[in-house]
């Protein structure tokens, strides 16, 4: 996600994590961060790439609204393929 301006973005975790968990084919949501350097993020595991893309179109605007004026860098979205043994 973006780098904060020395303060933890509030409410986005409580608002967005449950919404994401409730979306179709969401397997897991993990919220993480570091108050010392102001970096926070989400790890979301989806059933398919299509599910991730569909969710992003719903959640991204809400996340942007929560972060407006609270970050010094634009959030980064990265998608990875899960490699299981």
Q: Which domains does the chain have, with CATH numbers?
A: 1-85 (3.30.70)
Residue 12 pLDDT more than 80? no
The per-residue pLDDT for range 44-79, each reduced to its tens digit, is 999 998 999 999 999 999 888 888 888 888 888 888
Per-residue pLDDT at 4 exceeds 60: no
pLDDT at 28 over 60: yes
In 3D space, the residue among 78, 85, 18, 12 whose CA is nearest the CA of residue 49 turns out to be 78
Average pLDDT on 25-39 reads 88
Q: What angle (nearest 5°) sits at the alpha carbon of residue 64, between those of residues 70 and 9?
A: 35
Confidence of residue 2 (pLDDT cuts 50, 70, 90): very low
């Amino acid at each position: 996600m973006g780098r904060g301006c020395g303060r933890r973005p509030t409410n986005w975790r409580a608002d967005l994590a449950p919404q994401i968990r409730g979306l179709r084919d969401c397997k897991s949501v993990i919220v993480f961060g570091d108050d010392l350097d102001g970096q926070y993020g989400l790890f979301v595991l989806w059933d398919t790439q299509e599910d991730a893309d569909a969710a992003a179109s719903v959640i991204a605007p809400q996340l942007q609204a929560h972060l407006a004026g609270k970050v010094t860098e634009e959030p980064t979205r990265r998608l990875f393929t899960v490699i299981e043994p």
